[in-house]
Amino acid sequence: LNMVGPWPWPRSQMAQLIEDLVTEHGVRMIGLDVVFPAPADPVGDMRLQALAQFAPVVMAQVFDMNQREQAIVSGVPIGTTPPIPGNWPQAQGHLANHAGLSQARCAGNISSIIDTDGAVRRLNTVVTWGQAPQLSLGLAMLACDTQTAASLPRLLHSLVASGQDQHWEVPYSKHLDAYTVIPASQMGPDWLFGAGAQ
């Protein structure tokens, strides 16, 4: 944030980061844990739209499971998954990406279940919006990767069999320092100062 500037970063810069991850670093799949509910800079939005359709990117959307007097309904939800057998909970509202990103190839649900002490210990594995099942971001990444998509039905069946079809308990078994974390600022000068930066 000190090098690039405060959040939210320009869409062109986000698009450049995704392009660099794919072309320069050969990542197989990107789970973009960010929602873009409204259009911003036109060039950046067009680049993100193209990446969402043709790059190995899973866009994010949030589904609200709470019954409210007035449902939260913003953006255009993406339904990219065929019907999945299971007793999936029904979403009551959503915060999705703007219409320009509604043709994304893949999308995942990033809503979480917050316990009374403020901690997140469970995630919705699959929820439904209307008739469309919405996979969690991690499951959507598996479903959109041609090398792992075939294993998804078996995984979902095991979740149903184990009773975790409604919620998946996060197995916190490692500290944060056990994960490889690379700051965006280390992506290189092209991303920081190139044509993508504004």
For residue 8, is the peptide bond before it cis, meaning its omega torsion is within 30 degrees of 0? yes
- Alpha helix ranges (H) inside the chain: 11-23, 42-54, 137-144, 152-162, 189-193
The identity of residue 90, as a single letter, is Q
Q: Looking at the chain, how many residues does it have?
A: 198
CA distance 170 to 52: 28
Residue 80 has pLDDT above 80, yes or no: no
In this prediction, residue 197 carries a pLDDT of 40
pLDDT tens for residues 103-159? 999 999 998 888 999 988 888 888 888 878 889 999 899 989 988 888 887 877 777
Which three-class secondary structure state does DSSP give residue 63?
Answer: strand
Q: Mean pLDDT, to the nearest integer, of 65-93? A: 84
130 contacts 92 by C-beta, under 8 angstroms: no
The identity of residue 33, as a single letter, is D
127 contacts 134 by C-beta, under 8 angstroms: yes
167 contacts 88 by C-beta, under 8 angstroms: no
15 contacts 47 by C-beta, under 8 angstroms: yes
Q: Mean pLDDT, to the nearest integer, of 64-72? A: 89
127 contacts 109 by C-beta, under 8 angstroms: yes
Q: What pTM was computed for the model?
A: 0.85
Band the pLDDT of 18: cuts 50, 70, 90.
Answer: very high
Task: Calculate the average pLDDT of the chain.
Answer: 85
Residues 6+ apart with CB under 8 A from 186: none
CA distance 72 to 94: 6
The identity of residue 157, as a single letter, is H
